[in-house]
Amino acid sequence: MFKHKSNLLNFSIAIILVGMLILTACGSSSGSAKSEMDTVKYGGQLYPEEYLLKGQDFWSKYGLTVQHTLFSSGGENNQALISNAIDINIGSDSKSVELFNAMGDKVVIIAASQRGDRYSTMVQTDSGITSWYDMKGETVGIRLGTGAEQVVRRYFEAVGDLSWDDFNWVDLKVEDMAAALADGSIASFTAWEPTPAIAEATGNAQVMMSYGDYALTPVLIHTSKAYAESHHDELVAFLKGQLDKVDMIQNNPDEAARIAAEAASAQGSEVAPEVFKTIFERVDFSLDVDDEVLAALNDTAQFLKDQGSIDTIPEFYVDMSFLKEAEESR
């Protein structure tokens, strides 16, 4: 009888141990599933560094998959973030202002992507034109309602003795600007990269001036606060890839330019590698959002309000903790 009870006891213990092993395995399996990161849906734009991100996978080494969509419009990109169709987006300073006016405290800046000499005024190399003063009364090209108009107006305000009415403005698509300059129908055009670098590489054009000293015009990376609260690991891994991108631009611009040119071609835009190299050497692609970047963002908001483009200046929310962690753990 005693032996029979002992066997039953051993059998019961065995069942309990098996059950514990199963629970442990399930718990371990569950833990593994949670450690796997979600695919990030990223809304990019037709910026030079975005072509590099398209052509080179900077994220898989960190265990992250990124669904990278290039939007042709900053407004469409903003709407995609607002509607939760994407998790992260990128946009110029003016589009960042619009995004914060739309989302308020539900959106946060996690990094920058560009700043500095993003906009340039181009003239013919043999024109003898060295400043805006040389073009008073001339016909000049610009895309009205864009950041190009904004930086020129801010430059005129800064110098104080130039007026918008001193020039005859032609509203041109950026793809038509180089040809208009070449045939002499305009004395200059002002645009954002890569249009100036393309004109410089393929035509009789040179930079008259760039505007980083007058309008820093940063490009910023945003996400929703809800996404930031629930996807810490994804954001850190995403920014690690962004840091690797910056490293390639700074340390191997020739290779970065080659990859970007191939990616642009795959997207239907034929841009020579030397054009991308010029841009990568001209523009600051660092990710930090420092006091200078925030001041520039607020300056843009104030300018847009003064111009009547917006009614209120939003409060901007910034969280650099993800970038700091990415820098420390990469």
Q: What pLDDT was estimated at residue 123? A: 98
- b vs e for 57-95, b when ≥16 Cβ sit within 10 Å of the residue's Cβ? ebbeebebebebbbbeebeebbbbbbeeebbbbbbbbbb
Give the number of residues written for the chain.
Answer: 330
Q: Is the Cβ–Cβ distance between 178 and 198 less than 8 Å?
A: yes
pLDDT tens, residue by residue, 30-78: 333 346 899 999 999 889 999 999 999 999 999 999 999 998 788 899 9
- State which amino acid sits at residue 275: V
| Rounded alpha-carbon distances, angstroms, from residue 26 to 14, 16, 18, 194, 197 | 18, 15, 12, 53, 57
pLDDT (tens digit, 9 = 90+) per residue, 237-271?
Answer: 999 999 999 999 999 999 999 999 999 899 887 88
**Burial label, 325 (beta-carbon count in 10 A; 0-12, 13-18, 19+):** middle
Q: β-pairing, 139-142 with 189-192? A: parallel
pLDDT digits (tens, 9 = 90+) for 114-170: 999 989 999 999 999 999 999 999 999 999 878 889 899 999 999 999 999 999 999
Other beta carbons within 10 Å of 175? 11
Q: Which domains does the chain have, with CATH numbers?
A: 40-116+216-329 (3.40.190.10), 119-210 (3.40.190.10)
Whether 93 contacts 296, CB under 8 Å? yes
What is the DSSP secondary-structure string of 291-327?
Answer: HHHHHHHHHHHHHHHHTTS-SSPPPP-B--HHHHHHH
* Number of neighbours of residue 298 by Cβ within 10 angstroms: 16
Mean pLDDT of the chain: 89
Alpha carbon distance 102, 105 (integer Å): 9
Query: Over the range 217-254, which residues count as b (16 or more CB within 10 Å of their CB) and which as e?
Result: bbbbbbbbeebbeebebbbbbbbbbbbbbbebbeeebe
pTM of the shown model: 0.80
DSSP 3-state of 171 = strand
- CB under 8 Å to 277, separation ≥6 — which residues? 253, 254, 256, 257
Give pLDDT, residue 7: 46
